[in-house]
Amino acid sequence: MEHIKCDLLVIGAGSGGLSVAAGASQMGASVVLLEGHEMGGDCLNFGCVPSKALIASGKAAHGQVTSEQYGVANQVPQVDYAAAKAHVKDVIAQIAPVDSQERFEGFGVRVIREFGKFVSPRVVEAGDHRITARRVIVATGSSPLVPPIPGLDSVPYLTNETLFDLTETPEHLLIIGGGPIGMEMAQAHQRLGIKTTVIEGAKALGRDDPEMAAIVLNNLRAEGLEIAEKAMAKQISGEAGKITVETTDGRSFTGSHLLVAVGRKANMERLDLEAAGIETTRTGIKVDASLKTTNRRVYAIGDVAGGAQFTHVAGYQAGVIIRSALFGLPAKARTDHIPYATYTDPELAQIGPTEAEAREIYGDKLTVARFEIDHNDRLIAERKARGLIKAMVVKGRPVGVSIAGPQAGELINLWALVIANKLKMSAVAGMVAPYPTVGEINKRVAGAYFSPQLFDNPKVKRVVGFVQRWLP
């Protein structure tokens, strides 16, 4: 067995682990990186990248059947599902070199393609290697959660880890789970001409602002997507090509293929965390604000740390860990400035609390500014003007923003900047946006916040009247 000593040992080559490994190595630390599966982790191989590529295929097909509104005759798209999946694989292949073993070895990282497990608080074994590190970063990510539904283990089913390998066209795709993954994949498949049914035990997109979620769900239903809510799966039966999901309220759904998309679980099973004195919670590894575990030499980052499961969160946390582990400086992870987006059409985006959450936190101190996206001239020109933006404001400072509409995931970027830097609404109102752009939506909601103070204020009108009487 080879014995290795290093400054940093990173377990997991997903977004967070790669960010730490690259940054630390280039700053002079000796780094060992362990990965027993795919370089790039879930995001590159089974999540963000392939899902957005398939969404793009669905968007292209949908454009052909809705082009008449632009003076171009509608066409029935000739969809080749296998070719769409080949497009997905090609997109992954184009991005993969950025996350490749060769690239990180070029940074000076020792890459070992094995899973790791703790054998003591500072020592990890991986294959024929025994590694002693000054600091360890656990970045093992998460995997699809497979619920214990009776009969599920007797039928073939898909998860996000197997969906993108499917090349035969489903006749009717059933999706258990109406969260972001389920709804994104449902719309993509519906637009590719595949009958799709979403089976959700509670409310679809239930973690989002209900007003915003309704905008998205109404559009999905208008496209023909069947969304069954309050439909808790009770029993699954059948065989390949004919799978039936029965729900607790007596409904029954039969399709050719089944996708399970009910959530994710932290990857902790292989790590033997007890040997390192690391405590866990129901959702992942227990960490403090600096992302340290109960073993002070070990950090946890990304999905396995039990917080928000987003690639950009892991990337942000990598910077926190580098500051602490490399420079010994105090560093704490924030969550108030972290946005997220769901890439349906229209998109959903959120940063900070929703309106209901903000009212509970701030009470009468809260002001909610609204702007109907229907009034954005650029989107009117593109026949896409539907949606809403809401800004939750306390003492002139935005604390949360909800967006449902085209390019919501792009629009939320400005608010991430504003909230991260504790700027006021006046900073957004003072911005000059080119006309006509979708980005004007952000400025218009800032205008909606100030309008009552300017146009409905008797004091302002008295001052204007006084000045006008005395101006020469």
Q: Which residues are annotated as a binding site for NAD(+)?
A: 177-184, 200, 263
- Element of type H or E holding 340: strand 339-342
Other CB atoms within 10 Å distance of the CB of residue 356: 11
What's the rounded Cα separation, in Å, for the pair 368 and 194? 40
What's the rounded Cα separation, in Å, for the pair 335 and 420? 10
Angle subtended at Cα 188 by Cα 371 and Cα 183, rounded to the nearest 5 degrees? 60
The residue type at 121: P
Residues in the annotated binding site: 52, 116, 140-142, 177-184, 200, 263, 303
What's the rounded Cα separation, in Å, for the pair 241 and 256? 4
Helix axes 48-65, 81-95, angle to 10 degrees: 140
What's the rounded Cα separation, in Å, for the pair 173 and 197? 6
How many Cα atoms occupy the beta-carbon half-sphere of 167 within 13 Å?
A: 8
Helix axes 408-420, 440-455, angle to 10 degrees: 60
Residues in the annotated binding site for FAD: 52, 116, 140-142, 303
Q: Where are the beta strands (DSSP E) in 186-335?
A: 195-199, 226-228, 233-239, 242-247, 252-255, 257-260, 264-266, 298-300
Cβ neighbours of residue 457 under 8 Å, at least 6 residues apart? Answer: none
Residue 61 and residue 55 in contact, taking contact as beta carbons nearer than 8 Å:
no
Helix axes 48-65, 180-191, angle to 10 degrees: 40
From residue 86, alpha-carbon distances to 164, 168, 195, 335, 345 in Å are 9, 12, 21, 37, 23
